[in-house]
Amino acid sequence: MNRILIVLALLSAVPGCGYRLESGTARFTDPSVRMDVSPFANRSTTPDAGAVVAARLREELRRSGFQGSFGSVDANYRIEGKVHEIRYDIFSHDSADRFPLEIRLTLVVDIRVVELLRGGVLWKESGLSETASFYSGTDAQYTTANQRAAFEEVARRMAVRLSQTLRVLL
């Protein structure tokens, strides 16, 4: 019985020392929160990579329950990103003429989340990566379509990963 009283006394002292026990989603679901999610800087050879990753992130934030709005005017948070690279690695070859059959696409992103009201960096990470494989062939349209589908898939996966972290941060 004494142990229970000691634990309760310690837990009641927690709010007095500045710590709070609350869900990390309180600000995430607050409709007054405004986020600036501009197109990411693009250092890759894919022309729209930065814009696509940022658009997928906004979509995923909405899907995962973000109730606020997006825009740079009066934003509470700014999400700055950079598509560092999109790398292609041959995964398998055709045995006859050594033509690549399967290629692994890797998207590498740097991210930084800034709380504008307090002026601090909430989260910064470099070199986050996601991969997906696609099939190639002698038909350029077939290969290009598969390559684009793989890029869309890694952009979606990256957005899910970033959104999950933001949900915990906010």
- Residue pLDDT, tens place only, 84-122: 999 999 988 777 767 788 999 999 999 999 999 888 999
Residues 104 and 89 sit within 8 Å (Cβ to Cβ):
yes
User: Does the structure show a pLDDT above 50 at 19?
Assistant: no
pLDDT-derived band at 53 (thresholds 50, 70, 90) equals very high
Pairing between β-strand 120-135 and β-strand 34-37 as defined by DSSP bridges: unpaired
Residue 80: pLDDT over 80 = yes
Topology at the third CATH level for domain 24-169 = Double Stranded RNA Binding Domain (3.30.160)
Query: What is the structure's pLDDT at 26?
Result: 73
Query: Does position 79 have pLDDT exceeding 90, yes or no?
Result: yes
113: Cα within 13 Å, side-chain hemisphere: 17
pLDDT beyond 60 at 20: no
Mapped onto helix, strand or coil, the DSSP state of residue 129 is strand
Distance CA(142)–CA(160), nearest Å, equals 27
- The region, left, alpha or beta by phi > 0 then psi within -120 to 50, assigned to residue 18 is left
pLDDT of 46 above 60: yes
